[in-house]
Amino acid sequence: MPRWTGGLAVSSKLFCIVGIFVWACAKPTADSEPAHPHDHGANAEETPSIAITRYSERYELFVEFSAPAPGQPVTYHAHVTRLSDFSPVTSGSLVVRFKNASGVAREAKQHDVKRPGVFVLEAPAPTAGRYALEMVYANGDQLDTFEGGDVAVQSPPLARPKPSGSAITFLKEVQWRVPFGTARAETRLMARELELPGVVEPAAGDQLTVGAPTGGRFFHSSKLALVEGTRIAKGDVLGAIAPNVAGDDFTRLQLAVEEGTLGVSQTERELARVEPLVGQGLLPEKRVIQLRNELETRSAQLRSARSRLARVSAPGGAGGLPIKSTQDGVIAEVVAANGEPVEPGAPLVRIGGTAHWWIRTRFVAKPVSLLAGAAPASLRLASGERTSLESHGARFVSALPVVDAATRVATWIVDVPSPASQSLPSDFRTGANVVVGVRVGKAETALGVPRSAVVEINTRPYVFVQVDGEQFEKRLVSVGAADGDYIRVEEGVKAGERIVTRGGYDIHLASLMETVQSHRH
């Protein structure tokens, strides 16, 4: 079966779910007001109307109103969307003015939203003539003015042009309920991007190796998960060293305890035999004094031998020398396994700071001319999340990668500062596999759109262009090289057109089933 057939089948199944959601969002309930007072279907011409979409720095205004006739009521349905997150406004007022050379000929005002994002107001149209339409949205001390252009007030009223047959209707009420966003397609300086696989590790200059202060066995702390990636604080106990004494191993320590126990026992028995004889005057008192001194010596030796054995054999190295972290950071590597014998000075744990990270990339060596002047631009994590490396001040540690002469494998390290003001993604941690986007070549002016704006449908790239607030066109585009978060568009979109950066696939699904052909606000 051809690949595109399978893709269409998947799309249709997905749409069955999303289509029901879209229909449910748009369909009014029995006790709610209709959402739109006019149809967008076959009977649209019975009620001539006009739709206007305008933008300020903060808001998008989409207004639908009946075509004005002299002195007749004009009903306005305005939708105000925040451009910061494409959510509906929840407060404020809206004023609509018809202006001519003499000033304001007619004005209508709504003091609060009828429901989130929607203003509904009605007022008579002015006398016949041409007027400049002005709309003002006020929220607190902020005023945003939208110029609506020239509007003819005449009888019969002027009907709006029919939308393009290829236009897809996607309602504001649905846009506000799904991840959605738009932006203008703009020309920008764009270079070619090369992707290199890499692994995250603490920066070498930001690492600390904790070594064994003496030979012995290293026991991990039972209160701390001593594994790569664990965050630790200065002063945290990493484990303990149960030291060897004079090079003694475990077997020799056991033997010393056994010999000490036997010596103490023998001396005690001899002392018990001699003391009565001394009391009877059969042996000199000096003999008792010698045995008591010998017992004290052997007892001290036994205590010492037991202490050495306890430090080695007790769980967690109880009684050993505590090993503490001397800085905040993350565990980059655990060198010594739990209970492993170590020599004096042997590395136990490597700790990395969090002020700098390294991404160590390895790839087949490429021509020097291709990499000259290259700079790290973006980062793609295993989850697919992308982040800009430029905004974090990332740079290559060396001007060119280091190439192994035998294998022709190149290693290039990216240094990524991590200031507190710019948090890195949670998946960016020691040992994470990532892909580094490297900008190479000379930057040229080209039309670029966000990567998220390009939707792959049946293996072909499309971009959705916003015609007005609720009308969209699906455009097949020709794309070129990517650069960071943007991808070059060779054909299909013009500079200045407003494109959908989030939610394009939802619009595509809506176009397949035509679930929302007629709606009422």
The string of pLDDT tens digits covering residues 351-371 is: 877 778 889 999 999 988 888
Q: What's the pTM value of the predicted model, to 2 decimals?
A: 0.61
SS (H, E, C) 471-485: EEEEEECEEEEEECC
- The total of other beta-carbon atoms located within 10 Å of residue 518's CB is 14
Closest C-alpha to 89, from 110, 107, 68, 66: 110
Can you tell me the mean pLDDT for 496-516? Answer: 85
Strands (E), 172-268: 181-184, 186-202, 207-211, 216-220, 231-232, 237-243
- Return the CATH fold of 49-159: Immunoglobulin-like (2.60.40)
The reported pLDDT for the residue numbered 328 is 82
pLDDT at 296 over 60: yes
> Has residue 221 got a pLDDT over 70?
yes
For the chain, give the mean pLDDT: 82
Query: Which of 10-14, 454-458, 460-464 is predicted least confidently?
Result: 10-14
Q: For 121-139, write each residue's pLDDT tens digit.
A: 999 999 999 999 999 999 9
Q: What is the CATH number assigned to the segment(s) 183-200+356-502? A: 2.40.420.20
Would you place residue 22 in the very low, low, confident or very high pLDDT band (cuts 50, 70, 90)? Answer: very low
Q: Exposure pattern of 58-84 as b/e (b: 16+ CB <10 Å)? A: ebbbbbbbbbbbeeeebbbbbbbbbee
Distance CA 12, CA 512 (A): 8
Least trusted range by pLDDT, from 156-160, 175-179, 271-275, 338-342: 156-160
- In this structure, the number of other CB atoms found within 10 A of the CB of residue 9 comes to 11
Instruction: Say how far apart CA 301 and CA 264 lie, in whole Å.
Output: 9
User: If you average pLDDT over each of 59-68, 316-325, 427-436, which comes out highest?
Assistant: 59-68
Q: Which residue did the predictor score with more confidence, 145 or 339?
A: 145
Q: How does residue 521 score in pLDDT terms, banded at 50, 70 and 90?
A: very low
Q: pLDDT digit string (tens) for 397-439?
A: 998 999 999 999 999 999 988 765 567 777 787 888 999 999 8
Cα 378 from Cα 380, distance rounded (Å): 7
pLDDT at 298 over 70: yes
Helix (H, G, I), strand (E, B) or coil at 508: helix
Q: CATH number of the domain at 250-315, please?
A: 1.10.287
pLDDT, average across residues 314-318: 48
Say which range, 223-227, 411-415, 465-469, has the weakest mean pLDDT: 223-227
**What is the distance between the alpha carbons of residues 104 and 102, in angstroms, rounded to a whole number?**
7
Note the pLDDT of residue 383.
Answer: 84
- pLDDT recorded at residue 201: 85
The percent of the chain in helix, strand and coil, each rounded to the nearest 5, is 20, 40, 35
pLDDT of 473 over the 90 cut: yes
Whose tokens are 């080695």? That residue is 312
Minimal CA–CA distance to 521: which of 1, 7, 21, 27? 27
Task: Compute CA 196 distance to the chain's CA centroid, rounded to the nearest angstrom.
Answer: 20
DSSP 8-state secondary structure symbol assigned to residue 502: E
Burial state string for 117-132 with b = 16 or more CB within 10 A and e = fewer than 16: bbbbbebebbeeeebe
Q: Is the pLDDT of residue 306 over 90?
A: no
380 versus 61: the higher-pLDDT residue is: 61
Q: Choose the weakest-confidence range: 90-99, 140-149, 307-316.
A: 307-316
DSSP lists the bridge partners of residue 474 as 464
Query: What pLDDT score was predicted for residue 219?
Result: 87
Strongest mean pLDDT among 35-44, 325-334, 454-463: 454-463
Could you tell me where in the chain the CATH 2.40.420.20 domains are found?
A: 183-200+356-502
Mean pLDDT within 11-31? 44
pLDDT at 16 over 60: no
- Within 8 A by CB and 6+ apart from 399, the residues are none
Domain with CATH 1.10.287 in the chain: 250-315
Every domain range in the chain assigned CATH 2.60.40.1930: 49-159
